[in-house]
Amino acid sequence: MEKGMIYIYTGDGRGKSPAALGRAVQAAIEGQSVVIIQFLKGKGLGDSEFLRRLEPEIKVFHFEKSDGNYEELSEEKKQEEIANIRNGIGFAKKVLTTGECDLLILDEFLGLVEKKIISVEELKAMLSCRAETSVILTGINLSDEICVLADEVSKIETVKFKVWE
């Protein structure tokens, strides 16, 4: 059995999550099933009629309960969200272990390592049980320790940003 690929979209530019979503749509067009789990985005994409139309090929999950940005939460709320995030990590492990999908996107997952919500060792253990499932990790900061785990790394940077008027 061949292992799935590991892709990382990183950098300080805008577009990492949209690039991952584009890969999800491409995989769905090819007949693959996709699970997206968003982290550190509050309720993320939320529940919408549009997202429901993507099912069953693309399923989107988020486990955080707060609407706010994780960094702006009180210490007590952060601890509550960490418990919710750990539930999301557990779900991701289950998805990889069972081979529930062909592509698993862990959006903003690199931020979980940076914030020490999950260790690099835990990430390695989780990825090692992926079987044929490919994984996309997104996030701003990428350590060398995580970079070596990837089959492909794309660095996204903003060259120019202008707000439309």
* 29, burial (CB in 10 Å: exposed 0-12, middle 13-18, buried 19+): exposed
Confidence at 141, pLDDT banded by 50, 70, 90 = very high
Residue with tokens 């999550």: 17
Query: To which CATH superfamily is domain 6-155 assigned?
Result: P-loop containing nucleotide triphosphate hydrolases (3.40.50.300)
pTM listed for this prediction: 0.90
Q: Is the peptide bond before 56 cis (omega within 30 degrees of 0)?
A: yes
What would the pLDDT profile of 73-115 be if each residue is shown by its tens digit? 888 988 999 999 999 999 999 999 999 999 999 999 999 999 9
Q: In what order do the strands lie in the sheet with 6-10?
A: 58-62, 34-38, 103-107, 134-139, 6-10, 152-155
Average pLDDT of 144-157? 95
Q: pLDDT (tens digit, 9 = 90+) per residue, 4-31?
A: 999 999 999 889 999 999 999 999 999 9
Cα 110 from Cα 107, distance rounded (Å): 8
Q: How confident is the model over 26-83, as pLDDT tens digits?
A: 999 999 999 999 998 765 565 667 777 888 899 999 888 887 778 888 889 889 999 9
